Amino acid sequence: MAERYQVKFLEIGTDKDHVHFLVQSVPTYSVTKLVALIKSITAREIFRRCPQIKKKLWGGEFWTDGYFASTVGKHGDEQMIGKYVQNQGKTYQKLHSDYQLALF
Angle of CA points 96, 12, 50, to nearest 5°:
85
pLDDT at 3: 54
Q: How far is CA 21 from CA 2, 8, 80, 84, in A?
A: 25, 10, 14, 12
How does residue 74 score in pLDDT terms, banded at 50, 70 and 90?
low
What percent of the chain lies above the pLDDT cut of 70?
70
Higher pLDDT, 67 or 90: 67
Residue span of the structural domain in which 55 resides: 5-103
pTM over 0.75: no
Active site residues: 84
Least confident of 28-37, 58-67, 80-89, 95-104: 95-104
Give the pLDDT of residue 6.
75
How many structural domains is the chain composed of?
1
- Kindly report the backbone phi and psi dihedral angles of residue 24, in degrees, each rounded to the nearest multiple of 5, phi listed first: -125, 135
The C-alpha angle 29, 81, 24, rounded to 5 degrees, equals 25
What is the mean pLDDT of the segment spanning 55-78? 79
